[in-house]
Every structure is written in structure tokens, then in C-alpha cells.
Structure 1
Amino acid sequence: MPEQHPIAPARAAGRRLRAPLAAVAAASALVTLAACGGPGSGSGSSAGATPTAVNTAVGDTPVTLTLFSAAGLEAYEQGLADAFHAKYPKITVKLRVEADNNYNTVLPRLLASDSAPDIAAPSDLLGGVKDGLLTNLDAYDKAYGWSSKVPASALAPGRVSNGVIGSGSLYQAGGSAGPLVGVFYNKELAAKVGMTAVPTSIGELEAVLAKAKKSGVTPIVASNQDGLIGHLYNLLLGDYMGAQALSDIVNHKAGATLDTPAAVKATQTLQKWIKAGYFASDVNALNQEASYGQFTGGKGLLFFQGSWITQTIDKNFKGKYGVFPMPPAEKGGKYAGMTSNTLAYSIAARSKHKDAAALFLDFLTTPGAAKVAVANGYAAVTSDTGKAPTPSLSGTATEQIQTGYAAIAADNGFDSWLQNSAPAVNTKLTQQLQLLVSGKVEPAAMVKTLQSTYADALKSS
């Protein structure tokens, strides 16, 4: 069973996060890219780690590709392989499955060997690029038009420039599918407090929280024994700082800093909600499992969590909750939210079938791949990311998750967790959030402490 929150224990600036499988997602169509012929020769691979001449007309040439898979994702990735083969019968994708706890250790050695897989999702992207183990995908990006079809914030974690992730050449690509981290709500309590529409700003959300408090309903369920109030905090950081600024910190971009007025504002907002009594008085003593029980037990209106929780709460709460994306700081502003792209893969530099492997990556942007993502519990980018549906309280939770994901995609607002910037930040943030709840630290001091921890981690890395 995957862990219930994607806070990586290791530096995420060079590591691909595998998000837990959510139990719900929605059917959607991804962009369909027409396969067009390009320069290159037949179905052979392009030489070297930086191909320049590529061929996109390889769908009718027999070949077997190898995809290195972690056991926990075998069913999902086999589904992708089967769907790809159904579309391109002459190309077979064979999975080479490794135990989850061995995957990250085995892969670098495998990529450097003579039996390297064609396709994989390296945990250490920076190391793979530095060691020349991964293919530069820029030529394929140009040939297939991925940069114009997939949200830039979904592709950014696969870009590397001068040893920093987030910009530059593309080394991981595919479609865009993953969990939605947003605002879950109890339908019965929402009706009780008069929440009839999705809040469109932090101000409107605060009005809902105040109504709940006045009605005798605990506004927010959270667990902070384990620092998972951090989901809400990260959403606030994304709102006030902007998704790109938060991602720059996680990706260790030179000059990126948390010590900004925007981060202080986000922290002040959380502090204000704490002081207003919007959380249970014992929130610092609650763990994740207890918070699930409180939410499904009707003990609070809102729950800031990721869509992976549905596999747990659906057992006795299905149909009784909904979800919407975190509203922007100001009405009309941009949506932002944390996710990890489950449709991003790399091509090994030693692959002998780079062109066919790139066709597989291109397939990940199609409705066929979206269907597989949906079946395995992910939301996926819709066919037109510029025209996202408006989040509402109507529809099923499945539909609401997809709508929320699409809203963030339309605003290019995918970011990551501050905790993923460094292990030390992960530990320090839990401590600081507990101190904030207990009234023992002020927002500006908390931000400075986190920034200092981050800076020290970078110096020692």
C-alpha cells in the first residue's frame, strides 16, 4: 500500500515522485497528436544521448520495447503497454518489473549496462543526466509538439539546465496525469452552513469557514501530529507565492527563496485560521488515520487533502463528500496545487529503439492513455487545457476531481510540496507547523527558519 501523502524523504529536485494511486478519477480525453513523418531513418534508434534527426513514422515497424517498472505500478504500466500495443500492434512494450524498494537502487546500474531498458522513470533525474544515461528529448518534443500540448508546469520537472531541474532541455516527457490536492467537503455539513457554491477566492473561503464556526461545525479537519496541516500550508504558499516561485524552491533554482512577503502572507493566513478556532483544539495530537475518521465521522466541514484519500474514505463515506480545487488568493486569480506527473518517462541513452520509445511517450498524450490513467485512479489533462470547466458543487466526486485538475492545468499551476526541497525542510516544517498551532512562533520567524533550513541543506548537499 503506497504511503498516503507524497512527501518524499529525499531531495525532490532530482527525484521523481510517485504519487499514491487515488481511488477516483474521471474519464477525460487528452490531446490527440497526429503521428507525422519526420526526418530520420526507418525505425532505428537515433544515436547518442542527444538525437537531432528523429523519425515519428515508426508505428508500422516491428519492435519490442522494454519498460522498467516498479512492482507497485505494474498494473498501471501494463495497462499503458497494452493500450499502446492495441493502437500500434507491431510494437510490443514488455515490462521488466522490480520490487519497489529496489527500483531506485537497481535502475542507475541498469541504465549504464548493455541491457538498458528503453523506457523508465528515474528517481534521480539529475544524476541520470549528469552521467549521460538519459536521452535528451528536445528533438522529439519539437517533432511531436509536446511543449504546446502539455502544461509547462507538468513538463518542468523533466527539464534540466546546468544541474537544476525546472527549465532547459527535456529528459522526461509524456502526458499529464496525477492526483488532485484540494478541498474535500462534507455535503451534509456544507448544506447546513449554507455553502452553495465553490469559493472563488481565499476571502470567500474564509467566509465559509466563519459560517461553519458560527453554526457549531468545526470548519477544518486536519492532522498535525504528522505535520499534514502542511497540505493546506502548501496550497496557501502556491496561492500567494505563485506556483512557479514555489516550484523554483523545490527545484533548487539559483536565487529562489522562501523568505518573501508572499510566503509570510500565506503563513499569516494559516495563523489567522488557527487563532479563529477553525481547527479542532487537539489538532497537534491527531495523526492521519484519526483525521480520516473525523472527516468521515462528520466532525468537520473541510479537509485539505489529496485525491489518493478516496481509496480509504470511500469505504464508508462514498457519495457523502465532494472536492474542489483550492481557490486562488484573489477572485479571478490563478489556480495552483501540488501534484506529481504519473505519465512522465525517460528514454535510456543506450536504448536501441529511441524513435519507437518516443512514440510511446507521445501515446501518453492521447485518450487511450487517459483511459488507463482514469482506470488506475488518476485525473488527467483534458483535451483543451486553455478551456477548463468551472469547478462546482454538482456532479460526482470523480467528476469534481477531474474538473479541479483541469482548472489547475489551465492556469499552468502544478507545483510541488515545500517539504520536497530537502529532508531537513521536511522535518523542520512539521516542527514549525506544530509551533504555529500552539502559538509559539510568529509567521515571519517561521518563514525565516524554514528558509535558513533550506539554505543550509543546499550548502551541505
Structure 2
Amino acid sequence: MLEHPTPSPARTGTGAAGRRLRASLAAIAAGSALVTLAACSAPGSGSASGSPDDATPTAVNTAVGDTPATLTLFSAAGLQTYEQGLADAFMAKYPKIKVKLRVEADNNYNTVLPRVLASDSAPDLVQPFDLLGGVKDHLLTNLDPYDKAYGWSEKVPASALAPGRVAMGVIGGGSLYQAGGSAGPLVGVFYNKDLAAKVGMKTVPSTVAEFETVMAKAKKQGITPIVASNQDGLIGHLYNLLLGDYMGAQKLSDIVYHKPGVSLDTPGAVKATETLQKWIKAGYFASDVNAINQEASYGQFTGGKGLFFFQGSWITQTIDKTFKGKYGVFPMPPATEGGAHAGMTSNTLAFSIAARSKNKDAAALFLDFLTTPEAAKVAVKNGYAALTGDAKSTGKPSLSGSLTDQIQTGYAVIAADNGFDSWLQNVAPEVNTKLTQQLQLLVSGKVEPAGMVKTLQTTYADALKSS
């Protein structure tokens, strides 16, 4: 199934809309992290002749827009509406190329995909769960020649392409096997507009220190600064944002992607943990936050029980509709003035081309289309953030504008700073479990920041050894 056993971003909402959104968000995050441990390699070879070299095109043709072809996109049911929208927009621009969806049930998609890719009737476009296994068994096309021909590395932030790169059995660098546009959720700071006005917050805080000043004002006025759930460890959203701030997005991604020789036990990670502990001790969370689950936290935020809520833009699909217009969102402020913004996302406009595809050039044109404003509009219509232009020329986060505008701006700001990273929970199931436990202990005052980071690093190292 598309959802993976990590709390973020898979565990992100309730109801049918939430399930559809969670399915699409999980596709990249799972493929870019857990498979490094799981490495469930597909059986057989995916190249037409069994040669690894067949997965790398020796020549490419970008002038195929007027050449008749039919592409098959292997889609999970939860992504069908979204991906059909992409297909329709592509066909409107290139009417001689047809795109047909081949839809599989969500809970079967990952199971059958390796077999489908290895078959004689392989689809052209897929979103692989096990990217490493697909590359190892030559089931996926090396996209480097197309990257060079279309200039994707210049169009798309490097941090958005990193989950699709593989080198020496490690995700995050090397040759490109998964590409497309840049679209996904914005994970940031949701705020109650009425309470923000009450505490005098007129602009988006530009640093963590400014953010702390706002929270101190809220606390002084009897307003709970942060709504969160920690029965399920979802203070982890905030913790992950702090890790991105103090470690830097690249160093955090190195951990998630299992880059050899990296360690979580760093001064940056300790500083992030100390910051979270300081907010806990200052009373910025409800006293019973360890007993609150995600559903209850949604109700508390929409019920006006707190100023800030650290979540992803997926919540706009499931949050109480009567609260519409009463909240906004901005990206997590950087640690220092002028510092880089960082935030977790899943690139839901990333696809791979099957090694056995008979229409690789046309499939690559589809991937290039995903970098265009037309594709970004489809993403936005389906509730995602997406880059709609040059990520280097974007406005500053603001408390004005529509919620959609705020989501788009926040996403673009992180992209401009090349600050996309992933969830620490995605490192390994063991880290996911241990992190929830450690966050609960931190809230209850039973662990210190340095000890918590060391415990997480030990869990991480042990998981790698046993993989």
C-alpha cells in the first residue's frame, strides 16, 4: 500500500479526502527513506535484454511533442484524480500523445509494482515505493541524459530532486531515477488569526527568537501558544522543523537518506532539542499534551484553544470547514536573521520511467511538462503547494492574502533557500518508535536534550547495522 508505517507524512488526516492526500504524500517519502533499510528488491531484471546498461538511454530526442504515442501511467487509486488531471493537462498541450492511467488499488500498488515493471507489458511512468530496489534490479531508467537535455537540475531545487537520486545504494546523490516538477505539502506554522491579532502579531516572525517573543506574549495573556498532540508523537512535526533550522536541511536529509558516516549526534541537533525543551518548560504547550491525540488537537486548534499549530497543508482538506478563513500559515522561521528556511515535504510530482518503457522520450517529455506552470496549477487545484515560476524570485511570507497564497509563498520561500528535507521518523521504523517515546519523555521532564539525541543516534546506528 502507498501509506508507509511512519507518522509523517502518512499519518496526516482523517476521512476519505485525508486518505487520498496521505497516499500521494507517502509515495516519495517512503521511497526515499525506508527502502534504504527495507531494500525489498524486485525479482528479475527490468532491462529489455537483461543488461544494466539498457536502463540508461544512449541518445535522447526532445522533439517528440508532435509524434503520436501512447503512454501508460501506473497509478494507485488514491492518486487517480490527481494524476488524471496531470494527464489531461499534458494531452491538452500535446494532443498527439495520449496518456492512459492503469489504476491499481492502494493496498496492492507497492506489492505488484516490481512484477509489473519486470513484465513485457511494463507501463511507461510509475511512482516506485522501493527506488533502491528498482535501481538495483535495473527496473528503472537512468534519467541523467534527460536531465541534461531538459535542464531539470536548473529548473527544480536540488533538495526536491535529491529523493530521486541514487549512488552506491544510497538515496540523495548521484544519478537521477525519479524526476518531474516540485510539488507537495507545506509543513509550517498554522495560526489562529483572531488570537494573532490579540497578541499583536502583525508580521511573520523572521527568526526563532521573534517567534518566541510572540509566544511569550500569548502565554502572558492566558493563551496557549502551541496546540499539539504528543500521545502519537506529533510534536515531532515541530521538532523536525527545529532540526532543519539548527542542523540545516542538507545535514538532516543526509541522516534520512542514510549517507555513510553521518551522525545525528551534533551540536545542531542538541540545540534544536534544547529549544523544544525550553518551550516545554515555559508552558507553551497544554499541560496534558502527552495525552492528546491528533484528532483532539485538530479540535483544539479549530476551537480557538491555541495560537499556533505545527502541521502540513494536508490539514486544509480535513479541518473543520466552519474554521475556514479564520486561520493562516507561514513557513517555520529560520534560526537566525537572514538564515535559510527549511521544511519537510514530499515531491508528489516525481515519477520514474520504466526501464522497459517503449516510449522513453515521450515519457521524459511528460516529466518535463511537470516543471511547467500548467502542471503546477493541477497540483494547486488538488490541494498541494507547487512551484509556479522561478523559485529564486518569490515574495516574503505574509499574514495577508488567501490561505492558498500563503501556502504557495511558504513553499516557494523554502524552495528558494533549497531547504526541503524529510521527516526524521522516516529514517527507520525503530527510530520512529524511539522518537515518539523520547518526545514524551522530554515533555514529562524525564530526559535531557543531549541524552535524547544520543539515544536517537544509537537507535539509528543499530537500525543501519541490522539492515
Q: Which amino acid aligns with 1:458?
A: L
Q: Deviations for 1:224-283, whole angstroms, at most 9, x for unmatched residues?
A: 000000000000000000000000000000011110010000000000000000000000
- 1:224 is the counterpart of 2:230: yes
Q: How many residues align?
A: 431
CA distance in 1, matches of 2:325, 2:121: 48
> Structure 1 residues 173, 120: CA separation in 2 closer, same or farther (over 3 Å shift)?
same
| 8 A Cα contact 1:10 1:423, kept in partner | no
Which of 411, 415, 423 aligns to 1:417? It is 423
CA distance in 1, matches of 2:320, 2:270: 36
- 1:177 is the counterpart of 2:179: no
Give the superposition deviation at 1:381.
1.1
Structure 2 SS opposite 1:313: coil
Structure 1 SS opposite 2:447: coil
Structure 1 SS opposite 2:129: coil
Give the superposition deviation at 1:11.
7.5
Matches within 5 A, 1:248-287: 248-287=254-293
Q: Which amino acid aligns with 2:33?
A: A
Structure 2 SS opposite 1:331: coil
CA distance in 2, matches of 1:76, 1:394: 28
Task: Percent identity, please.
Answer: 82
| 8 A Cα contact 2:30 2:129, kept in partner | no
CA distance in 1, matches of 2:30, 2:188: 24
TM-score (norm 2): 0.90
Tell me which residue corresponds to 2:89. 83
CA distance in 2, matches of 1:180, 1:11: 19
Q: Which amino acid aligns with 1:68?
A: F
Give the superposition deviation at 1:10.
6.2
Tell me which residue corresponds to 2:13. none
| 8 A Cα contact 1:12 1:421, kept in partner | no
Q: Which amino acid aligns with 1:312?
A: T
| 8 A Cα contact 1:11 1:422, kept in partner | no
Segments ≥4 residues shifted beyond 6 Å: 4-11
- 1:52 is the counterpart of 2:62: no
Matches within 5 A, 1:50-449: 50-449=56-455
Structure 2 SS opposite 1:350: coil
Give the superposition deviation at 1:382.
3.0
CA distance in 2, matches of 1:92, 1:7: 27
CA distance in 2, matches of 1:398, 1:254: 39
> Structure 1 residues 232, 210: CA separation in 2 closer, same or farther (over 3 Å shift)?
same
CA distance in 2, matches of 1:351, 1:382: 29
Tell me which residue corresponds to 1:13. 33
Structure 2 SS opposite 1:191: helix
Give the superposition deviation at 1:13.
2.1
| 8 A Cα contact 2:181 2:349, kept in partner | yes
CA distance in 2, matches of 1:161, 1:14: 16
TM-score (norm 1): 0.92
Structure 2 SS opposite 1:85: helix
Q: Which amino acid aligns with 1:257?
A: S
CA distance in 2, matches of 1:15, 1:181: 23
Structure 1 SS opposite 2:33: helix
Larger deviation, residues 375-384 vs 224-233 = 375-384
Structure 1: stretches of 5+ with no match in the other structure: 17-46
Give the superposition deviation at 1:367.
1.4
CA distance in 1, matches of 2:257, 2:463: 13
Q: Which amino acid aligns with 2:316?
A: T
Structure 2 SS opposite 1:268: helix
Q: Deviations for 1:374-423, whole angstroms, at most 9, x for unmatched residues?
A: 11111111311111210010111111000000000000000000000000
| 8 A Cα contact 1:14 1:126, kept in partner | no
CA distance in 1, matches of 2:26, 2:113: 21
Structure 1 SS opposite 2:72: strand
Q: Which amino acid aligns with 2:428?
A: A
Structure 2: stretches of 5+ with no match in the other structure: 1-15, 37-52
CA RMSD of aligned residues (A): 1.5
Q: Which amino acid aligns with 1:245?
A: K
CA distance in 2, matches of 1:12, 1:53: 28
> Structure 1 residues 7, 435: CA separation in 2 closer, same or farther (over 3 Å shift)?
farther
> Structure 1 residues 271, 7: CA separation in 2 closer, same or farther (over 3 Å shift)?
farther
CA distance in 1, matches of 2:186, 2:403: 12
Give the superposition deviation at 1:7.
7.6
> Structure 1 residues 314, 363: CA separation in 2 closer, same or farther (over 3 Å shift)?
farther
CA distance in 2, matches of 1:226, 1:293: 16
> Structure 1 residues 311, 172: CA separation in 2 closer, same or farther (over 3 Å shift)?
same
Give the superposition deviation at 1:336.
0.2
Give the superposition deviation at 1:15.
4.8
